[in-house]
Amino acid sequence: MKLGRYYIDLNHCLGEDFSEYEFDDQGVPLTRFNRKPNWKYNPITVSQYGLHHFNHYLKSHSENSKKIFLKQAEWLVENIEDGPNGSKVWYYQIAMPFYEISAPWISGMAQGQALSVLLRAHQLTGEEIYLNVVNQAFLVFNVSAKKGGVVSCFPDGNPVIEEYVSAKFMIAVLNGFIFAIFGIYDFKIYTDDFGANQLFNKLVDSLKQNLYRYDCGYWSYYDLKFPLRLSSKPYHRIHLDQLDELYNITGEEQFRNYRDQWQDYLSSPICNLKWALRKLHQKLFIRI
């Protein structure tokens, strides 16, 4: 099945317009972690920049956007490494102290978004290298975080794909989980793989059963690590767009209901005031 536009169009309203990055001589973005001056490659940023230009190419037929998109796909192919369970992965070589993560580590969100890039690159070019890498990168979704993979579990035992992987505790970043689901969905529909179809259905069911955990009553939570953090406004908007797309993909009313509820929060002056006060408290007293 042919893949169309990527599900989320990143822009300044969603906190990402790709204006803050440096670029190497091939046009691949480098980013700063924790706002430090050491610019590094980030597989998520590379993938998102590529998908941004893929969407632009579909809209405008811009050959320049197509070229930029394929440059990001080439970088992903050239920088993949051996991972657990015979998989291929993109390692992060920087520590994440807030989540108690030491380098190197793998991001399930990065794996999922890279799948979305490489499958579209294969669709555009027909070059088998892209599909070969995808088949190997997908394997890590069958490996638990405790064994070096990216799959953790909600308290009810249902699986969650981790953007930030810790063998010590569940983190369960919501937007990262859903971006990973999008990548698995792309793999499922492009390859008609039975295992990917089973995994996709299991993850959708898991999210349905656990989405309530991200609702504080007036806003969405960013992740489930204690102390629970409210999403920033851009990430809250990303949640809205992601739930829209999940409803379009699955037809599950629960995703639309939460999307509408969280849109009401965003539109409510009272909810916005509660959000601002809670965020201020976290910054002053919890330092997050």
Could you give the 3-state DSSP secondary structure of residue 163?
A: coil
Bridge partner residues of 230 (DSSP): 221
Instruction: Return mean pLDDT, the chain.
Output: 93
**What is the Rg, in whole angstroms, of the alpha carbon atoms belonging to the chain?**
18
Q: What is the pLDDT of residue 288?
A: 56
Taking only the tens place, the pLDDT of each residue in 182-208 is 999 999 999 999 999 999 999 999 999
pLDDT at 34 over 70: no
Which CATH number is correct for 12-210, 2.40.400.10, 1.10.3720.10, 1.50.10.20, 3.30.465.10? 1.50.10.20
Q: Which residues of 105-116 are buried (b: 16+ CB within 10 A; e: fewer)?
A: bbbbbbbbbbbb
Q: Structural domain boundaries of the chain?
A: 12-210
Average pLDDT over residues 81-96: 93
- The answer to whether 244 touches 259, Cβ cutoff 8 Å, is yes
- What's the pLDDT tens digit per position in 274-283? 999 998 888 7
Residue 45 has pLDDT above 90, yes or no: yes
- How many whole angstroms separate alpha carbon 198 and alpha carbon 195? 5
Give the mean model confidence (pLDDT) for residues 90-99: 89
47-69 confidence digits (pLDDT tens): 999 999 999 999 999 999 999 99
What is the average per-residue pLDDT within 91-109?
90
Continuous segment of H or E residues that includes residue 91? strand 91-92
Q: Examine the pLDDT at 285 and tell me if it is beyond 90.
A: no
Q: How far apart are CA 14 and CA 7, in angstroms?
A: 13
Element (H, E) at 102: none
pLDDT, mean of residues 33-58: 88
